[in-house]
């Protein structure tokens, strides 16, 4: 098969790395890819959000299966367009992609199907929202309805900062039109975990669980990022929690999709709060998580292509997905300054110094004119180690991450140490 992966971050590197192990793939492409992906796939210079470009390239190059990594092209309807062009595609259509592209859509879905989540209200009028500031007390959870590159959730601690945040979101439009509607939620307490699931029209199958570290600094301090590290499986899960998630969240979600005519095919990423009164849904994303995917796919034993083709053919119930017992830990090396502004083009050294069983997934890298690998994003690399125990994997991830250098490199030191 000829397969095209769309995207160019750590998630897409993990997907390509895993697909490249399949004997059924004759040619693997990635658009646009990055310097690490170039090791396992042929990179195609078409941007992930250039829907016309991707569709034309996929048709011209007889692609048998396209796999979409990021949320923005999904929300733009890339799956519908590729299907129209006769290209089978792994990922949800535009209608289903609203589950990530609109918080309000998802909250209504969860409420309609009695799936545990925070209570909420939504506002489109700034004055009305200001008149209701602190309706659930503080901290106040404010969510831009639309896509805002993972930054659209603001959680002010008091009334003064809540008013300022509302002014920025609705008055100054810091998230553009994404905050024309704001969802206000009850503040949930507990520990968060990520659950990625394969979904087709008949079946939902959770992957191994994962823990993500969203804040930039140790101790879960500082601003949110795309994710500074991850481990799998989550040490917070046990059979009881898994059963509750299955019965109260996964099965009602699948039934809800069927009742609402949401023909979901792809990955449903469920952000969970493991609260005192059970697991609750914080959010849905409709794609693999990043960096969760790096730890999770590192532990997949089955052929990922078999899973993708089963999903697009609605045969997910016919296959068994196997995982290795080893634990995985991924430590992200980020550019100094991220998630604020940061420099690019810093030469990366030491990539050849890592041990043989370590996989360094590239998130923000490219080749410079001299053919050197340089930084090109906020999150640069995801150093992924496995081990018979969680602590062994963690020690290996850090020992190897220390060998890689670039100017301004930053990593958290407590990935896999806290939230376990």
Give contact residues for ligand GLY (rule: CB under 6 A): 150, 212, 226-227, 285, 289-290, 292
Given a contact cutoff of 8 angstroms between Cβ atoms, the answer to whether 280 and 93 are in contact is no
Contact segment (CB under 6 A) with ligand AMP among 49-57, 123-131, 185-193, 315-323 equals: 185-193
CA–CA separation, 323 vs 326, rounded Å?
Answer: 9
What's the chain's Rg over C-alpha atoms? 21
Q: Pick what 208 binds: ligand AMP, ligand GLY, none; C-beta below 5 to 8 Å, kind-dependent.
A: none
> Which one, of 70, 75, 92, lies nearest residue 83 by Cα?
92
Q: Pick what 289 binds: ligand AMP, ligand GLY, none; C-beta below 5 to 8 Å, kind-dependent.
A: ligand GLY
> Which one, of 372, 336, 329, 327, lies nearest residue 352 by Cα?
372
Measure CA of the first residue to CA of the last residue in the chain; give whole Å: 41
Q: Pick what 283 binds: ligand AMP, ligand GLY, none; C-beta below 5 to 8 Å, kind-dependent.
A: ligand AMP
Which residues within the stretch 242-271 sit at the binding site for ligand AMP (CB under 6 A)? 271
- 288 or 308: CB nearest ligand GLY: 288
Instruction: Please state the closest distance from residue 57 (CB atom) to ligand GLY, in A.
Output: 26
Q: Pick what 145 binds: ligand AMP, ligand GLY, none; C-beta below 5 to 8 Å, kind-dependent.
A: none
Given the structure tokens 């990539």, which residue do they identify? 351
Given a contact cutoff of 8 angstroms between Cβ atoms, the answer to whether 121 and 103 are in contact is no
> Which one, of 402, 23, 29, 105, lies nearest residue 283 by Cα?
105
CA–CA separation, 223 vs 300, rounded Å?
Answer: 31
Question: Phi-psi category of 97—alpha, beta or left, where left has phi over 0 and alpha has psi -120 to 50?
Answer: alpha
Binder to ligand AMP among 16, 141, 183, 305 (CB under 6 A)? 141
Q: Assign 368 to helix, strand or coil.
A: coil
Residue 100 found at the interface with ligand AMP (CB under 6 A): no
Contact segment (CB under 6 A) with ligand AMP among 22-30, 171-179, 187-195, 345-353 equals: 187-195
- 29 or 361: CB nearest ligand GLY: 361
Residue 118 found at the interface with ligand AMP (CB under 6 A): yes
- 227 or 377: CB nearest ligand GLY: 227
Given a contact cutoff of 8 angstroms between Cβ atoms, the answer to whether 269 and 288 are in contact is yes
Question: Phi-psi category of 134—alpha, beta or left, where left has phi over 0 and alpha has psi -120 to 50?
Answer: left
Binder to ligand AMP among 192, 208, 290, 303 (CB under 6 A)? 192
Residue 187 found at the interface with ligand AMP (CB under 6 A): yes
> Which one, of 206, 212, 204, lies nearest residue 232 by Cα?
212
Token output for 165: 């945040």
- 187 or 322: CB nearest ligand AMP: 187
- 145 or 292: CB nearest ligand GLY: 292
Contact segment (CB under 6 A) with ligand AMP among 29-37, 186-194, 197-205, 339-347 equals: 186-194
Given a contact cutoff of 8 angstroms between Cβ atoms, the answer to whether 134 and 163 are in contact is no
Instruction: Please state the closest distance from residue 228 (CB atom) to ligand GLY, in A.
Output: 9
Which residues within the stretch 36-95 sit at the binding site for ligand AMP (CB under 6 A)? none
Q: Which residues bind to ligand AMP, rule: CB under 6 A? A: 118, 141, 153, 185-188, 192, 214, 271, 282-283
């Amino acid at each position: 098969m000829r397969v095209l992966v769309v995207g160019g971050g750590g998630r897409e590197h993990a997907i390509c790395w895993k697909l490249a192990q399949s004997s059924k793939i004759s040619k693997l492409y990635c658009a646009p890819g990055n310097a690490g992906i170039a090791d396992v796939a042929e990179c195609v210079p078409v941007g992930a959000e250039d829907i016309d470009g991707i569709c034309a390239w996929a048709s011209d190059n007889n692609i048998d299966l396209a796999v979409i990594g990021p949320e923005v092209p999904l929300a733009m309807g890339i799956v519908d367009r590729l299907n129209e062009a006769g290209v089978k595609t792994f990922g949800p259509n535009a209608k289903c992609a609203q589950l990530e592209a609109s918080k309000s859509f998802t909250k209504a879905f969860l409420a309609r199907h009695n799936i545990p989540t925070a209570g909420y209200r939504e506002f489109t009028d700034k004055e009305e929202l200001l008149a209701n500031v602190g309706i659930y007390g503080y901290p106040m959870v404010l969510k831009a309805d639309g896509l805002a590159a993972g930054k659209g959730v603001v959680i002010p601690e008091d009334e003064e900062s809540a008013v300022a945040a509302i002014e920025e979101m609705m008055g100054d439009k810091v998230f553009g039109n994404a905050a024309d509607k704001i969802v206000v939620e009850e503040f949930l307490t507990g520990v968060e975990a990520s659950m990625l699931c394969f979904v087709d029209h008949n079946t939902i199958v959770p992957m191994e669980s994962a823990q993500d570290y969203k804040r930039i600094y140790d101790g879960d301090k500082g601003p949110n990022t795309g994710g500074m590290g991850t481990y799998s499986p989550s040490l917070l899960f046990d059979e009881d929690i898994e059963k509750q998630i299955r019965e109260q969240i996964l099965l009602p979600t699948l039934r809800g999709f069927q009742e609402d005519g949401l023909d979901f095919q792809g990955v449903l990423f469920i952000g969970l709060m493991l609260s005192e009164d059970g697991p609750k849904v914080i959010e849905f994303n409709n794609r693999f998580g990043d960096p969760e995917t790096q730890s999770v796919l590192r532990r997949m034993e089955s052929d990922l292509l078999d899973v993708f083709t089963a999903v697009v053919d609605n045969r997910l119930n016919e296959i068994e997905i196997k995982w290795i017992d080893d634990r995985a830990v991924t430590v992200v090396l980020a550019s100094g300054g991220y998630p604020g502004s940061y420099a690019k083009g810093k030469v990366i050294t030491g990539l050849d110094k890592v041990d043989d069983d370590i996989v360094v997934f590239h998130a923000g890298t490219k080749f410079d004119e001299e053919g050197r690998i340089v930084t090109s994003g906020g999150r640069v690399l995801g150093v992924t180690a496995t081990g018979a125990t969680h602590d062994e994997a963690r020690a290996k991830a850090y020992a190897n991450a220390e060998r890689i250098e670039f100017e301004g490199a930053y990593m958290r030191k407590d990935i896999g140490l806290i939230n376990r």
